[in-house]
Amino acid sequence: MGSFLVRRFAQGILTVVLASVLVFLVMRLIPGDPALLLVGTDASPADVEAVRERLGLNEPLIEQYADWLIGALQADFGPSISKGTEVGTLMKVAALPSAELAVAGYLFALAFGIPLGIAAGLKPGGLGDYAATGFTMVTLGIPNFVLGILLIWVLAVLLGWLPITGRVAINEDPIEAIKFLIMPMIAVGAGTAAVLARFVRASIMETLNQDYVRTARAKGLRERAVVLRHAMRNALIPVITVAALQIGFLISGAVIVEVVFARPGFGSLIIAGVIGRDYQLIQGMLVVLVTVFVVVNTLADVLYGVADPRIRVS
């Protein structure tokens, strides 16, 4: 188990470092002089040179990267060119609303997708199976941001149940905050829920065909005990990996959904970065997002190893 952990974490760190190098190099391809963008075109050449010096743009690339990496490890991502403030400060403000949405969307996906998959898997061809298939079809044809618009139309405009756009902080008014969160949560989580439902369904159907399930039935256990104690526990182990991989897609989907619902967060920030060609901002945000993604996947692998001893050995 020890060497498994070490190997897995080393791999994760390598991926994050390589990803940061890749983003760093690609961002240098942005045409135009960042210093010129920062001070404006009517500044004197001496001013531009001073800013270039301050941003470290005159140093060799390797040195620039090392400086940036050392700063990033201390949560200092440098100044944002388009916004004029520190990237770290901008991200700190945006992190809470984004995390709130991602967590809510993920919980929705788990709470909706897994039971649906179980219902479908236990009775193929039954009502649950039809519901799962129908739900999958809907999410295939309607991407997250479009689902968001449809939800706004039905739940907010036609029925008037929920507020349309914006966000209220949880600690200010919990009930209002949840009302604002419901539609974005569904929009972000629906796709993941469908993937989980499909995977759980297949996993349960496969497990129910295993010999040990037949043995459990043969020794006269009630169906409830067979399903809950024998089949389900084994069927849900591989779900851990799939569920973890989905987090990355959920986060990237949240970027767009946030814009649909005019919520503050990483979404509006990253778009401002792309439009303003703000290399510092994009660089900082992407490395943070990739780190989150890699950490989650590594944890999932470790958890998988804990849940299934066979993985640790092989």
Residues 101-120 that bind other proteins (CB under 8 A): none
**26 in contact with other proteins (CB under 8 A):** yes
Q: How far is CA 225 from CA 213, 232, 235, in A?
A: 10, 10, 14
At 137, which helix (H) or strand (E)?
helix 127-141
Q: Minimum distance between the CB of residue 165 and other proteins, rounded to whole angstroms?
A: 9
Q: Which residue number, 39 or 292, has a Cβ lying nearer to other proteins?
A: 292
Q: How far is CA 232 from the centre of its chain?
A: 27
- Give the one residue of 273, 280, 288, 302 binding other proteins; rule: CB under 8 A: 273
- How far is 151 from 183, CA to CA, in rounded Å? 6
Per CB under 8 A, 237 contacts other proteins: no
Considering only residues 5 through 24, tell me which ones interact with other proteins, judged by CB under 8 A.
15-16, 18-19, 22-23
Binding residues for other proteins restricted to 249-268, rule: CB under 8 A: 249, 251-253, 255-256, 259-260
The Cα 181–Cα 165 span in angstroms is: 9
Contacts with other proteins by CB under 8 A: the residue count is 47
Residue numbers 29-68 binding other proteins by CB under 8 A: 29-31
Q: Does 274 bind other proteins (CB under 8 A)?
A: yes
> What whole-number distance in Å separates Cα of residue 314 and Cα of residue 302?
14
Scan residues 294-313 and list those touching other proteins (CB under 8 A).
Answer: 294
Q: Which of 53, 85, 153, 225 binds other proteins (CB under 8 A)?
A: 153
Binding mask 154-183 for other proteins (x = CB under 8 A): ---x------x-------------------
- Least Å distance between CB 212 and other proteins? 25
Give the nearer residue to other proteins in terms of CB position, either 161 or 212. 161
Query: Rounded distance, CA 15 to CA 7, Å?
Result: 12
Is residue 79 a contact point for other proteins (CB under 8 A)?
no
Question: Does 87 contact other proteins by CB under 8 A?
Answer: no
Q: What is the dihedral of CA 171, 173, 175, 180, to 10 degrees?
A: -90
* CA-atom Rg of the chain in angstroms: 24
Residue 136 CB neighbour total at 10 angstroms: 19
Cα angle 142, 125, 135; round to 5: 15
Tokens 């993937």 locate to 195
For tokens 């201390």, name the residue: 74
Distance CA 256, CA 97 (A): 14
Neighbouring residues of 149: CB distance < 8 A, sequence distance ≥ 6: 260
Rounded Cα distance, 151 and 149, in Å: 5
Verify binding: residue 293, other proteins, rule CB under 8 A. yes
Instruction: Report the sign of the C-alpha dihedral through residues 236, 98, 26, 60, in that order.
Output: negative
Residue 152 makes contact with other proteins by CB under 8 A = yes
CB of 118 to other proteins, least distance (A): 24
Q: Give the footprint of other proteins on this chain (CB under 8 A).
A: 15-16, 18-19, 22-23, 26-27, 29-31, 137, 140-143, 145-146, 149-150, 152-153, 157, 164, 248-249, 251-253, 255-256, 259-260, 270-271, 273-275, 277-279, 282, 286, 289-290, 293-294
